[in-house]
Chain A
Amino acid sequence: MLELPALGWQSIVIFVVFALSLLIATYCTYAERVIAAFLQDRVGPDRAGPYGLLQPLADAVKMFTKEEFFPGGANKVLFVVGPCLAMITALMSSAVIPFGNTMSFGNNLFFLQGIEVNIGMLWIFGVVSLGVYGVMIGGWASNNKFSLLGAVRAASQNISYELAMGMSLIAVLMISGTLSLREITLQQSVAGEWQVWNIVKQPLGFIIFLVCAFAETNRTPFDLPECETELVGGYHTEYSSMKLGLYLFSEYVNIFVVSAVMSVLYFGGFNFPFQYELRDWFVNSQGWELASAQNLITLLGTVGLFLKIFAFIFFFMWIRWTLPRFRYDQLMRLGWTILIPLAVFNIVLTGALILFGVI
């Protein structure tokens, strides 16, 4: 019987996940600019390094060398705590996401996942809703009316859309019967059938979740907390230097995490089509051991999950450079009078379908 690993493995995984989310967030800034440029018939940054690939480095140097500015009358402690909190909460939520199935080396079996907890979904929810504190505290501590307005907007927007998001997740919960993200992923991989991804069973729930994800990450068309045309810069108006960088970064980390959650909940996580056939082919035709074949499939699954995540990140950026911003009353109306009733309807529909044994 294989032993579960010591805690050391998990800390390595956590460290890798941490580094990966930061790296991906870094290159999201580059991708955002290039995609924006391409959608507008331009070419984007191409001066720093081949194809401008060193642009994030140049941006980081710029951010670090700028002046640390504290506005007069600002609460210095909270002013620093705000961006840190935003970054911490953004990074924390990636700990429970299963980035891959199990790998086994000799007698050691370990998960490609930071922490396997049976309340993974609740953890993500808790941490993501903490994220609004970073924005709120930063906006409050700036002693600036635009920052405060942005912060207030962020708070009310996040609370409004968390309701619909939670309710769309309840429907997923009803068909999976567990809160563990690993369990939910594994349930979407019945041998030989990749069509059982949750998106097939929950198309309406997915759309609700997607819209709410845009609102939760403060992305266009719901980027009212930082809309530069109305509020200068929203909650980060007064921020400069790397504190501003942390805010911008945490937004991209949030996008990464939300994309990962969507891939796990609705698009089969680390499962990919014909994975079991591929494993059996390696074992039967190529004469591999079952363990090493499984390891290979796990790695391929991780690559697949990241491809799904990148596709979602691209979608986020694609949407951003396509749609204009909502007005604030439109945002609230969409959240409260359309998405929440739809989510409730989705719960009832899912319940009925389960009752009659359709899904």
Chain B
Amino acid sequence: MQLTNRAKVLEKKPMTLAERAYLPAIFQGLSITMRHFFMKKATVRYPEEVRPFSAFFRGLHVLKRDEQGRERCTACGLCAVACPAEAITMVAGERKKGEEGLYREEKYAISYEINMLRCIFCGLCEEACPKAAVYLQPDKMAPPRFERDEFIYGKDRLVEPVSPDERSVKGIQLTPEQASTLRARIV
């Protein structure tokens, strides 16, 4: 039965003398391996050398602060809804008087947890966030750990550090002058 007309009839030819002598084929093979001997090596010597991340690599999450160092997140829950892996949980709370310097909106997240074992790093939370609060950092990964509960990242590990000098490069990028005025305002 012929399904297509692409079938090729292979003719089993007897080997020529050169083929039966093995040696030409062996020399051909040797020249190929010798070419590879001098080629550039594919190895990345990991701890000393790190393979560069792609510019839009989606790594560990961060909860951003605004220009005045206030948390942007308002605990609207859109990221948790968007999350296909159901990795995000949060508890919303109301901002009290005197906390205006801490939280940008009147509602904020008392707790905000991402389970890094569930997360598939798709970045849908980042797209869903209306307040530009949650981002996936392009230069950090969730490191391996020994216990499962260590993979549940709370606000202590997610929220961007307060000090402007420790701000990550992506997101809000401050000039030194802006940083010093911001520091004065926080103090």
**Residues of chain A whose beta carbon lies under 8 Å from any beta carbon of chain B:** 35, 38-43, 46, 207, 318-319, 321-323
Q: Is the Cβ of A323 less than 8 Å from the Cβ of B45?
A: no
- A318: B residues at CB distance < 8 A: 30, 33-34
Q: Knowing A322-B29, A323-B26, A323-B29 touch, does A41 contact B42 (C-beta < 8 A)?
A: yes
B43 touches A42 (CB 8 A): yes
Nearest-neighbour CB distance to chain B for A325, whole angstroms, equals 14
Inter-chain CA distance A319–B34, complex, in Å, is 10
On whether the beta carbons of B42 and A42 are closer than 8 Å, the reply is yes
Please, could you name 29 A-B residue pairs with CB atoms under 8 Å apart, sorted by A? A35-B37, A38-B36, A38-B37, A38-B41, A39-B33, A39-B34, A39-B37, A40-B36, A41-B36, A41-B39, A41-B41, A41-B42, A42-B41, A42-B42, A42-B43, A43-B41, A43-B43, A43-B45, A46-B45, A318-B33, A318-B34, A319-B30, A321-B33, A322-B26, A322-B29, A322-B30, A322-B32, A323-B26, A323-B29
* Seed contacts A43-B43, A322-B26, A322-B30; 18 additional CB < 8 Å A-B pairs: A38-B36, A38-B41, A40-B36, A41-B36, A41-B39, A41-B40, A41-B41, A41-B42, A41-B43, A43-B45, A46-B45, A207-B23, A318-B34, A321-B33, A322-B29, A322-B32, A322-B33, A323-B29
- A41 to chain B: closest residue by CB: B42
Query: Within 8 Å CB of A38, what residues of B?
Result: 36-37, 41
CA distance A322 to B29 in the complex (A): 6
Give Cα A227 to B142, complex, Å: 43
Shortest distance in angstroms between A249's beta carbon and chain B's nearest beta carbon? 25
- A206 CB to closest chain B CB (Å) equals 13
Residues of A within 8 Å of B43, CB to CB, are 41-43
The proximity string for B residues 17-31 relative to A, scoring 1 for CB distances below 8 Å and 0 otherwise, is 000000100100110
Q: Quick one: closest A residue to B22, CB to CB? A: A334
For the residues of B in contact with A, the DSSP-based class is: helix
Interface centre among A38, A42, A43, A322 (most CB of B within 10 A): A322
- Which A residues lie within 8 Å of B40 (CB)? 41
**Interchain CA distance A321-B30 in the complex, whole Å:** 9
List, in ascending order, chain A residues with CB within 8 A of B29's CB. Answer: 322-323
Closest to A319 in B: B30
CA distance A321 to B37 in the complex (A): 11
Instruction: Determine the chain A residues whose CB is within 8 A of the CB of B33 once the complex forms.
Output: 39, 318, 321-322
CA distance A107 to B39 in the complex (A): 54
Which residue of chain B is the closest to A321 with respect to CB atoms? B33
| A46→B37 CA distance, assembly (Å) | 17
**Can you name the residue of chain A whose Cβ is closest to the Cβ of B34?**
A318
In the complex, which residues 21-80 of chain B have their Cβ closer than 8 Å to any Cβ of chain A? 23, 26, 29-30, 32-34, 36-37, 39-43, 45
Separation in Å of the B115 CB from the closest CB of chain A? 35
Interchain CB contact under 8 A, A39 and B41: no
* B residues near A40, Cβ cutoff 8 Å: 36
Q: Which of A35, A39, A207 has the most CB of B within 10 A?
A: A39
A187 CB to nearest chain B CB (Å): 28
CA distance A323 to B23 in the complex (A): 11
Contacts of A46 in B (CB 8 A): 45
| Complex CA–CA separation, A208 to B45 (angstroms) | 42
